[in-house]
Amino acid sequence: MCCSVGFARSLGLALLPLSLCCILANLLLLFPMGEITYIQQDRLASFIWYFGGLGGGGLLMLIPAVVFITLGKCNCCWNESLMMCGSVLAAVVGLVGSGYCFVISGFALVQGPQCFTSLGWSYPFADQRGSIKTQKCAQPVFRNGDVKRSVRTSVRLGHLK
């Protein structure tokens, strides 16, 4: 077994829990505080429905994780360049997935949470560009910590590629 195959396997083992963390973070955003009423009342932030953590950082990252873990395990690979090409394509898919997760999570952070204010349900923190927040959320729908966790995990996924 070549040294690069061993490294690819360890990389796949590192990608696996990170992609599962992205899936979990996206699922936590879908059910804020463990309730389904926000989905039923259409009170979730718009960027949650782009499934950055579930699709991009999660499912698209599972592809290279599985490819890297199983790399070189079959004796039927008659062409090493074909095996290398497959791993490069899997890495590209993973890079696209982590990039998608990063971009969607960044847009969600800029938009801020949808929450209930004195004006009703709105996005009071959108387009404030770091200024002091004047409106208070009486009932926030999601915590920015969950979105920040998605951003950090997608950055880690991108650095591992």
Q: 144-160 vs 80-111: helix axis angle to the nearest 10?
A: 160
| Contact predicate 15/64, CB 8 Å | yes
Q: How far apart, in whole angstroms, are the C-alpha atoms of residue 79 and residue 121?
A: 59
Q: What is the pLDDT of residues 91-135, one digit of tens each?
A: 999 999 989 988 998 888 788 778 777 778 877 777 666 554 555
Q: What is the pLDDT of residues 50-86, one digit of tens each?
A: 998 899 989 999 999 999 888 867 665 556 667 778 8
Instruction: Give the model's pLDDT for residue 97.
Output: 92
